[in-house]
């Protein structure tokens, strides 16, 4: 009698895409000034660390961004689109109410038949999607998964609120996750606390052909900051314990790219050297579910992250959701 080998999942390729319209803080300040709202590069950088973000053109859908990132990830993995048997897209800004962005992306890739669905956990979405894909591969429900984080947050920003509109940008990141005999995704953990729905939300919906409520992003910045720092530390320590690792084993930390102060605080609490923190927030802004795979792909293509490195991914977002994944790349 033979014993089946354990089944794991590993990332075999990464890809990302940023729309070409690069918006500086000065550009944004000029736009706000037209409505009598004052802000400046110095004000934004001091509070967030953000200097640039990218905005998609009006005729570009989130599935368009996801398509380019996905093609790049598939190419990096040397994987034909037809070999993909699972597509999960993490997004809060879908093309339409339904069907899912994943189904639209599937059609744009020219494939059919595999499971395809969206995950909505806002800025934690990519970690949620990666965790689901990892679980499905481990149980044999899939062998090659395309996991995408893609957003067009510029569509839901209130450009009369300088405390929120300066934070966000658009983009997409993707990974190909494949079955493996050796561990790649070492441990994951997901959480949510719906008591904090109101501190980060878009309180509008469609009814009878009309938008009811407010369709623009609302955020209680201090409340989000306070919660984020605490939960990111606790979930990081939890996945390390699950994997039998310690903070000393982390080669790179890729947190959700929300605010440089939150990111630096998390690294400090984990006693990680500042050089181990991957930060793209200064150039991308907060791209919600896209921020982690964007930062991962950029780091891989730059040669910063290489095979064998241990990487901690973690995110926190509206819901209130949070999660982490520890991976051997």
The residues assigned a catalytic role are 123, 256, 286
10 neighbors 185 (Cβ within 8 angstroms): yes
Q: In Å, how far are 33, 146, 265, 276, 322 from 230, measured between CA atoms? A: 36, 31, 10, 20, 11
What is the SS3 assignment for 246? coil
Q: What angle do CA 189, 192, 194 make, to 5 degrees?
A: 175
Strand pairing class (310-317; 252-255): parallel
Decide: helix, strand or coil at residue 254.
strand
Strands 204-207 and 210-213: antiparallel
Burial (0-12, 13-18, 19+ Cβ within 10 Å), 224 = buried
Distance CA 297, CA 288 (A): 15
40 vs 27: CA distance, rounded Å = 10
Task: DSSP for 155-210, please give it.
Answer: GG--TT-HHHHTTB-EEEEEEEEEEESS-SEEEEEEEE-GGGGGGEE--EEEETTE
Determine the 3-state secondary structure of 58 from DSSP: coil
249-275 CB burial, b ≥16 within 10 A, e <16: ebbbbbbbbbbbebbbbbbebbebeee
Judged by DSSP in three states, 35 sits in coil
């Amino acid at each position: 009698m033979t014993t089946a080998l354990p089944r794991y999942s590993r990332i075999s390729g990464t890809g990302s895409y940023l729309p070409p319209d690069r918006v500086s803080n000065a550009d944004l300040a000029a736009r706000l000034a037209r409505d009598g709202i004052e802000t400046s590069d110095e004000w934004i950088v001091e509070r967030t660390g953000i200097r640039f973000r990218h905005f998609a053109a009006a005729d570009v859908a989130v599935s368009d961004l996801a398509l380019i990132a996905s093609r790049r990830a598939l190419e990096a993995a040397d994987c034909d689109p037809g070999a993909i048997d699972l597509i999960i897209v993490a997004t809060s800004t879908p093309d339409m109410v339904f069907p899912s962005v994943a189904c639209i992306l599937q059609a744009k890739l020219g494939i059919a038949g595999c499971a395809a669905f969206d995950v909505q956990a806002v800025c934690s979405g990519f970690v949620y999607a990666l965790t689901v894909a990892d679980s499905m591969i481990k149980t044999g429900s899939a062998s090659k998964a395309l996991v995408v984080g893609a957003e067009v947050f510029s569509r839901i920003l209130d450009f009369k609120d300088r405390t929120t509109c300066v934070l966000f940008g658009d983009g997409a990141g993707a990974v190909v996750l494949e079955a493996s005999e050796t561990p790649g995704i070492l441990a994951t953990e997901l959480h949510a606390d719906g008591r904090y729905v109101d501190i980060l939300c878009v309180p509008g919906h469609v009814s009878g052909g009309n938008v009811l409520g407010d369709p623009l992003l609302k955020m209680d910045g201090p409340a989000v900051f306070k919660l984020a720092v605490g939960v990111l530390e606790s979930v990081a320590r939890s996945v390390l314990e699950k994997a039998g690792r310690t903070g000393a084993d982390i080669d790179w930390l890729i947190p959700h790219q929300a605010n440089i102060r939150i990111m630096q605080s998390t690294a400090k609490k984990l006693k990680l050297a500042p050089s181990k923190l991957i930060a793209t927030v200064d150039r991308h802004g907060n791209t919600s579910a896209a921020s982690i795979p964007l930062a991962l792909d950029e780091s891989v293509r730059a040669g910063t992250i290489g095979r064998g490195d241990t990487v901690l991914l973690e995110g926190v977002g509206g819901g209130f959701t949070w999660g982490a994944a520890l991976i051997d790349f």
